[in-house]
Amino acid sequence: MRIGLVGYGKMGKAIEQIALQRGHTVSYRINHSNRDCLKYLTNQSVDVAIEFSQPEAAYENIYTCLQQGIPVIAGTTGWLDRKKEIEQYCYEKNGTFFYAPNFSLSVHIFFKLNVLLAKYMNRCPDYEVRIEETHHTTKKDQPSGTAIQLADGIIQNLNRKKGWINTPTQEVDTVGIVSHRVPESTGTHVVEYNSKLDTLEIKHIAHSRESFAQGVLLVAEWIRGKKGVLDMDDFMKFEDN
């Protein structure tokens, strides 16, 4: 498989390392210094574009790849106010767009546990919920895309919550997200329910970028020949009982 890496920072380099180990070819490595080369990517030169860049560049990167008929796997966060525009354009072009804020397979099991826990907590009104996330200091956006997806899962399933805010809060209808930025953190997410009697929490800790990079490559191998807007539920075939 021929891969175009759109974004060649720490994550792009981790993806490249695993791609080569799995026998794939990296045809293009594009970052802010050679972004003009994006126009040379075509569906004749690459089989898939993997986009891990910066929030301010993600929309144009993804749009350009779809315009040129290239399937896109994207993991950049912080641009999602325009995600529906990309999805509509993907359908118009009969293209392929796969987005996830986190490609770790265990994180997506974590998302499912979060939803299940939120549903159960409808029977436990004395518990207050909060989310805490920790990432490296070079991560530009906060809260993380993973934390936002966790908050959305709670809001959609815990009747007393209507929104989220990126600060501690005492508002009964709001999920507070606390963000920490520390050197060399790969990523930790905690969902915590507190009452006067006890505390219940679920936690995911990423030990290295390899868990994310491996997930990206597994998706890239799976996505060939598929069309439309896809996500990790499609890849992992989750079914709600």
Give residue 24's identity as a one-letter amino acid code.
H
Could you give the CA distance from residue 122 to residue 206 in angstroms, rounded to a whole number? 29
- DSSP string across 202-227: EEEE---THHHHHHHHHHHHHHTT--
Q: Are strands 48-51 and 96-99 parallel, antiparallel or unpaired?
A: unpaired
Catalytic residue (choose from 24, 135, 161, 189): 135
Catalytic residue (choose from 13, 119, 139, 227): 139
From 136, 151, 133, select the one nearest 205 (Cα to Cα): 133
226 is catalytic: no
Residue 84 makes CB contacts below 8 A (sequence gap 6+) with none
- Cβ atoms 80, 122 nearer than 8 A: no
- Cβ atoms 144, 111 nearer than 8 A: no
Helix or strand run (H / E) with residue 4:
strand 2-6
207 is catalytic: no
| β-pair partners for 164 | 175
Residue 150 makes CB contacts below 8 A (sequence gap 6+) with 111, 114, 131, 189, 191
| Size of the chain in residues | 241
Please give the positions annotated as active site. Answer: 135, 139
